Amino acid sequence: MRLSCADRVLDLTRPVVMGVLNVTADSFSDGGRFPSPAAAVAHGHAMVAAGAGIIDVGGESTRPGATPVSLQQELDRVLPVIEALRRELDAVISIDTMKPEVMRAAVAAGAGLVNDVQALQAPGAIAAVAAGNAAVCLMHMQGTPRTMQSAPQYTDVVTEVHDFLKQRAQACWTAGIATERIVLDPGFGFGKTLQHNLSLLARLPQLAAGAYPLLVGLSRKSMLGTLLGRPVEQRLAGSLALAAIAALHGARIIRTHDVAETCDAVAVAWATRAGVA
Q: Which residues pair with 57 in a beta bridge?
A: 21, 95
Q: Which amino acid is at 165?
A: L
Q: Which residues pair with 183 in a beta bridge?
A: 137
Among residues 168, 221, 235, 252, which one is catalytic?
221
Rounded Cα distance, 84 and 41, in Å: 7
Torsion-angle region of residue 120: left (phi > 0), alpha (psi -120 to 50) or beta?
A: left
Is 166 a catalytic site residue?
A: no
Residues in the chain: 277
Is 221 a catalytic site residue?
A: yes
List strand residue ranges (DSSP E) for 2-134, in order: 2-5, 8-11, 16-22, 54-58, 92-96, 113-116
Catalytic residue numbers, as ranges: 221, 255
